Amino acid sequence: MPLEAATLLKGLKKIDYKILRSIEIGMRYGEYVPIESIISYTKLSQERTEFLLDRLHKKGLIRRWIGHFTGYELTVMGYDALALDRLYESKLIVALGEEIGVGKESQVFFAQRPDETTCIIKIHRVGYTSFQQTRKKRRYTSDKRHLSALYASRLSAEEEFKWLQLAHEYGLPTPTPYGINRHIIVMEYFDGLILNDIKKLNDADLFLEDVIHFIKDAWCKAGFVHGDLSQYNIIITSEGELKVIDLPQAIERDAPNARELLERDVHNIVTFFERKCQISPNEQDLLSYILSCED
Ligand SMILES: Nc1ncnc2c1ncn2[C@@H]1O[C@H](COP(=O)(O)OP(=O)(O)OP(=O)(O)O)[C@@H](O)[C@H]1O
Ligand SMILES: [Mg+2]
């Protein structure tokens, strides 16, 4: 499935992005942005602004709210459009392809880099359902802090990007991060299969070793724990290499719950290999091996 905002980009002009941008900035201060704020940013006439807002509204890029004033907010598609436009403008990508995968909190698409290699974009989509409920409640509370799902998605992308960069610095087998804008990360594409989808895994013991090495290097050298490691976040490439993806929930080794997450990651991996490959690694031994750098 192609990305909806991507088809819209073609019909958008610089001034449309300026309006979207003015709404994005206004949303830092309140849920809905009054037209006066938009005008003071774009310096357009009221009539022209209303015309452009109408168009963006019809395209589904902004939402209109009519209350004691008329206000606007970006839709998810509007936010996508802003981020994608920047990714194109900064030449991080030159084309977009089909969807590869959709997770609980993201959508992943093929994309192309200026040198014509394939990469992916991962669009973070955090907290939509729970956020809608929170927002309903919040409207009646005195809490002034404006919490938005768009902002939460951006934070999640920034978090993942940070860990990808660190992992890359330490040469861990994770996707090379190429760039980020708002809630979208551009990163290396691994041509392969998700570990869980592989029917028969040859050399399972060697792959287990690779995963344990990854956990140990992340913990001992880079100083973090993946925190969501399982057969669903591991790719075996067509060249038979093991790669680890999906890092937004990583945390630093010094965090209070880091050890608990480390144990959980090891447990998930051991359970998978036991069930699928009939090998029985000793979980405690593996943990001691990983933690041996602390002695
Ligand atoms: N670097 C990559 N190379 C190839 N495919 C990838 C890459 N990153 C993600 N994918 C694909 O996109 C899917 C979702 O990615 P990811 O696991 O990072 O997101 P997620 O939303 O956290 O997923 P989930 O909630 O299901 O764990 C993956 O299962 C995989 O199929
Ligand atoms: Mg995943």
* Segment 5-40, tens digit of pLDDT: 888 888 999 999 999 999 999 999 988 999 999 999
Of the candidates 231, 201, 216, which has an alpha carbon nearest to the alpha carbon of residue 289?
216
pLDDT at 60: 96
Per-residue pLDDT for 94 more than 60? yes
Average pLDDT, rounded, for the chain: 92
**pLDDT for 142:** 36
User: Contact at 8 Å (CB) between 184 and 106?
Assistant: no
Q: 246 and 228 in contact (C-beta within 8 Å)?
A: yes
pLDDT at residue 130, rounded to an integer:
52
Q: List the Cα angle 124/129/132 in 5-degree steps.
A: 110
- Span 228-286, pLDDT tens digits: 999 999 999 999 999 999 999 999 999 999 999 999 999 999 999 999 998 989 999 99
Is the CB of 245 within 6 Å of ligand 1? yes
User: Confidence class of residue 141 from pLDDT cuts 50, 70 and 90?
Assistant: very low
Q: How far is CA 16 from CA 42, 56, 66, 187, 257, in A?
A: 10, 8, 21, 28, 45
Q: What is the pLDDT of residues 169-209, one digit of tens each?
A: 999 999 999 999 999 999 999 999 999 999 999 999 999 99
90-189 to CATH, choices 3.30.200.20, 1.10.3720.10, 3.40.640.10, 3.40.50.720? 3.30.200.20
Backbone angles phi, psi at 204, to 5 degrees: -55, -40
Q: Pick the residue whose CA is nearest to atom 26 on ligand 1.
A: 103
pLDDT tens digits, one per residue of 102-136: 888 999 999 999 999 999 999 999 976 554 554 44
Phi, psi of 32 (to 5 degrees): -115, 140
Encode pLDDT of 53-76 as tens digits.
999 999 999 999 999 999 999 999
Instruction: Spell out the residues 6+ positions from residue 78 whose beta carbon is closer than 8 angstroms to its own.
Output: 5, 20, 23, 56, 60, 61, 62
Query: Which class does domain 1-85 fall in?
Result: mainly alpha
**E strands within the chain?**
33-34, 62-66, 70-74, 95-102, 106-112, 118-124, 177-181, 184-188, 192-194, 224-225, 234-237, 242-244, 251-252
Query: What are the boundaries of each domain within the chain?
Result: 1-85, 90-189, 192-294
How far apart are alpha carbons 143 and 129 in whole angstroms? 20
Tokens at 24, concatenated: 């994005």
User: What is the CB neighbour count within 10 angstroms for residue 118?
Assistant: 13
Evaluated on CA atoms 248, 252, 255, 261, the torsion sign reads positive
Query: CATH code for 192-294?
Result: 1.10.510.10
Q: Please work out whether the CB of residue 193 comes within 6 Å of at least one atom of ligand 1.
A: no
Q: pLDDT at position 129, please?
A: 59
The pLDDT, as a whole number, for residue 52 is 97
180 — phi, psi (to 5°)? -145, 145
Q: What is the pLDDT of residue 5?
A: 81
Q: Is the CB of 237 under 6 A from ligand 1?
A: no
Does the beta carbon of 106 lie inside 6 Å of ligand 1? yes
Residue nearest to ligand 1 atom 30, measured at CA? 101
How many angstroms is it from 52 CA to the middle of ligand 2?
Answer: 39
Per-residue pLDDT at 144 exceeds 50: no
DSSP state of 143: -
Q: Find all residues with CB under 8 Å of 112, minimum gap 6, and list them.
A: 93, 94, 95, 96, 97, 118, 119
Q: Is the pLDDT of residue 295 over 90?
A: no
CA pair distance 220, 197, nearest whole angstrom: 30
Distance 248 CA to ligand 1 centre (A): 11
Query: What CA–CA distance (Å, rounded) separates 112 from 100?
Result: 14
pLDDT for 156 equals 96
Side chain identity, residue 149: A
